[in-house]
A and B are shown apart, each in its own frame.
Chain A
Amino acid sequence: MRKWFTGLLAALALASGSSTAQAQPTIKMMIPANPGGGWDQTGRNLAQALISAKQAVAVQFENRGGAGGTIGLAQFVNAAKGDATAMMIGGMVMVGAIYLENSPVNLSMVTPLARLTGEYEIIVVPSNSPHKTMADLVKAFKANPGSVSWGGGSAGGTDHILAGLIAKANGVEGNKVNYVPFKGGGEAIAAIVGGHVTAGVSGIGEFAEQIKGGRMRALAVSSPTKIDGFPTLKEQGIDVELANWRGVFGAPGISAAERDGLIKNLRAATESASWKETLKKLGWSPIYLAGDPYKKFIDEDTKRVAGIIDSLGIKNTK
């Protein structure tokens, strides 16, 4: 199957004209997740953008899912060492998984190239909920934290972390958050729409159709400014901002020149029409950040995520 994709993409590249002199021959891309999710979409759309911007002739994929991306990360650290044509997709979920599971490999062992996208979160309630605004929900939450159940994705993931940040901003202890994790979007949507949990937290795209269809009411988004007219948390007096970011990493042990070359390729790819189309289609925000500032961002995010996971009281001890 992998070979098949390479063949397809090589054919696409041929169709779109010959490669330029500085183009990469073939990029090997590690996607540390199973096909279908956000990282997979990021990797496959990025490949198309790299090819259409003539930054690569072909892209070879490897999907290695599991354990929040740390299985793919471990393989990338071991097998891609010094390979200047290797890239790996990753993001905030991986930062959380590394800390939560005391993973022996971490993001300081790979070369940060660029942060590509951010997906903001949204907080919803069932449409027949008594909570009309974020303030209503927060009031109930502060009065009795346990009585408000938050439904979202996996424990320690982005949705859980946002619930933790909201608790912190309202002076509620993290381990009092009654967070109910669901597998995949579908189960969570059913539990929220059916009124089995008080509120729901997820990426905006996940709930968009339910909100449009009138089965959920949006209370707040976690972005710096309004999205689709939904008010931000900040506007409603909760000083929290959170984007589920996704980015690209290079192999361990590549030279500074090789790193800068890859960043140049990525920069060109993100400026292509194909990439802009992807962002629009999937509702991702372009929060491009490359090289050293990206590395610094990862260090800060690691600290922030670790702090919240500690306060939620869910870390594995060894």
Chain B
Amino acid sequence: MGETFGLLMHGFSIALTPLNLLWGFIGTMLGTFIGVLPGVGPALTVAMLMPLTVKLDPTGALIMFAGIYYGAMYGGSTTTILLNTPGESASIATALEGNMMAKNGRAGPALATCAIGSFVAGTIATILVTLLAPLVVEVALKFGPAEYFALMVFAFTTVAAVIGSSTVRGLTSLFLGLLLGVVGIDSQTGKSRFAFGVPELLDGIDVVVLAVGLFAVGEALYVAAYASRLEEKMEQIKGSLWMSKEDWKRSWPAWLRATAIGFPFGSIPAGGAEIPTFLSYAVEKRLTKYPEEFGHGAIEGVAGPEAANNASVTGALVPLLTLGIPTSATAAVLLSAFQNYGISPGPLLFQMQPDLVWGLLASLYIGNVMLLILNLPLVGMWVKVLSIPQPLLYAGILVFATLGAYSLHQSVVDLITLYVFGLLGFAMRRWDIPVAPAVIGLILGPLAETQARRALAISQGDATVFLTHPISASILALSFLLLVLPLLYRLLRRS
């Protein structure tokens, strides 16, 4: 442990030069501003700006990446909270409460809890990577298709948190998402499903297009149609711009719980960042002392998902650095950045390139600090966006949503899909059907299906694999308990 600490300090000695700090600063600035554009998530931002860094030495470049990355992620959360246009799948969960907070005039605390929560989660996760990477990876490798399927089943329990007042309506929305999830080439057989001969649909429906369509376009249409009858007023600022003592008290446990959820999910090779954000949302909703605030802007519902996102992204460094396996879009971009410098991450990276590994960990840490220093003062500026008169603001949201959807694949089909989902979102709002379960269905459905079929292919059709693998069986048992216990509890109380 003392040795590890020494190595990390060595990393800092490489990373902390005035010039490198300047690169970090520039990266964070650029990242924040580009991240604010909807549809441009952190991975795309880093990929776009990568050519800028060709002339830098690897450490300088990595520090700039870390800055761009954290900046872009935070910029993405900013538009998610202010405009309800999540630029990437990992910030969809943030939109649920974050945008409600903004509408209640609490955009300031929402943005602040994002920045500070990301910082806290990122810091803890970086320390965990530093100390535990070689250990964690051996556990992570035990996860095969059967275990992943069990995890997906577990993740489906999060739907309960967003299902709303009517179970029938919530499940309708979920199944709509599941249906949309089967559109495109079936990854296990190569056969196309529900594509109706449209080649653009062969790769499936992008969850960002669905989320932006249902959330942002649907809402803009709804406001346009019912503006005169809506009582709801956008309040610019209510109370302090900063987090109150109460906000702090409610945020910090959420940050810590979210880190505990996000880090392990990030470090398993097929984890991703969406599932832990929704899990964290579900956990916060279950544990909160203010359940009535959920759905109307509860700060725990912003603090948790944002921290979980950052922890899982940092956790993704575990398989990247110990095995050379990129498990997230961002890790894949980092991997290609390594390759630009002729370095191939693999099991030997820690031994062969200690300067780079520890330099990278130190850079991520510096990126985190930079973000906090740079962005907290900007909160006041971002909040002013909400003072734009409503008609103009919603017109702007439509423009942003359209640009964002188009920038994903430069495809007109995506634009048509966006507006079809926009109309759908409008209808769902009109008839009070929650939109979040549809998004969860689209994210989890294909993952669960793929893993289940992989597990069954490997076991040659023997469905008991899910119960004979100990890890899978335990996760399934846990999910079962989560679903059944509240029901039992209710029944017992009634009798």
Contacts and interface: CB of A to CB of B under 8 A. Distances in A.
Most B-side CB within 10 Å, residue of A66, A184, A281: A66
Most B-side CB within 10 Å, residue of A101, A156, A314: A101
A8 B50 CA distance: 13
Nearest to A179: B457
A183 interface: yes
B187 interface: yes
A214 B323 CA distance: 11
Most A-side CB within 10 Å, residue of B190, B203, B344: B190
Contacts of A180: 145, 188, 454, 457-458
B319 A213 contact: no
A36 B336 contact: yes
Interface stretch (B96-104, B136-144, B155-163, B296-304): B136-144
23 contacts: A1-B48, A66-B200, A66-B409, A67-B185, A155-B187, A180-B454, A180-B458, A187-B327, A189-B323, A189-B324, A190-B143, A190-B323, A194-B141, A196-B145, A197-B458, A212-B347, A213-B347, A215-B323, A314-B190, A314-B191, A316-B190, A316-B191, A316-B192
Given A71-B200, A316-B192, A147 B460 contact: yes
Contacts of A195: 144
Contacts of B319: 186, 190
B387 interface: no
B345 interface: yes
Given A66-B203, A154-B190, A190 B346 contact: no
A209 interface: yes
Contact of B323 (A103, A155, A193): A193
Contacts of B409: 34, 65-66
A178 interface: yes
Nearest to A100: B190
Nearest to B344: A209
A77 to B, nearest CB: 12
Interface string B96-126: 0000000000000000000000000000000
A210 interface: yes
A98 B240 CA distance: 60
A178 B346 contact: no
Q: How large is the interface on B (under 10, 10 to 19, 20 to 34, 35 or more residues)?
A: 35 or more
Nearest to A194: B141
Contacts of B192: 101, 316
Q: How large is the interface on A (under 10, 10 to 19, 20 to 34, 35 or more residues)?
A: 35 or more
Contacts of B326: 184-186
Contacts of B203: 65-67
A146 interface: yes
Given A35-B47, A67-B203, A212 B348 contact: yes
A149 interface: yes
Nearest to A126: B141
Given A181-B187, A196-B144, 16 more contacts: A36-B333, A66-B411, A103-B199, A155-B186, A155-B190, A183-B187, A186-B326, A187-B327, A190-B323, A191-B145, A194-B144, A195-B144, A209-B345, A210-B347, A212-B347, A212-B348
Contacts of B468: none
A196 B454 CA distance: 10
Contacts of A281: 342
B346 A212 contact: yes
Nearest to A317: B191
B141 A8 contact: no
A194 B143 contact: yes
A65 B204 CA distance: 13
A236 B477 CA distance: 47
Contacts of A48: none
Interface string A155-189: 11000000000000000000000101101111101
Given A181-B187, A187-B270, A209 B348 contact: yes
Given A35-B47, A36-B336, A101-B202, A209 B346 contact: yes
Interface in B173-224: 185-192, 199-200, 202-203
B410 interface: yes
A186 B332 contact: yes
Contacts of B344: 208-209
A70 interface: yes
Contacts of B336: 36
A180 B144 CA distance: 12
A289 interface: no
Nearest to B450: A183
Contact of A187 (B47, B269, B331, B347): B269
Interface string A257-274: 000000000000000000
A240 interface: no
A136 to B, nearest CB: 19
B347 A215 contact: yes
Contacts of A181: 187-188, 190
A5 B191 CA distance: 36
Interface SS majority for chain B: loop
B312 to A, nearest CB: 15
Interface string B326-367: 110001110010000010111110000000000000000000
B430 to A, nearest CB: 33
B144 A191 contact: yes
A295 interface: no
Contacts of A1: 48
The 3 lowest CB-CB distance pairs between A and B, nearest first, are A209-B346, A213-B347, A196-B144
A103 B144 CA distance: 34
B100 to A, nearest CB: 34
A226 B342 CA distance: 24
Contacts of A34: 409
Given A67-B203, A149-B458, A194-B143, A189 B190 contact: no
B473 interface: no
A10 interface: no
B51 interface: yes
B199 A314 contact: no
Contacts of B467: none
A234 interface: no
A55 B142 CA distance: 52
B325 interface: yes
Contacts of B327: 186-187, 190
Given A67-B202, A155-B187, A196-B144, A149 B348 contact: no
Interface string B310-330: 000000000100011111000
Contacts of B47: 35-36
A146 B344 CA distance: 34
A23 interface: no
Contacts of B200: 66-67, 71
Interface string B416-445: 000000000000000000000000000000
Contacts of A81: none
B199 A184 contact: no
Contacts of A279: none
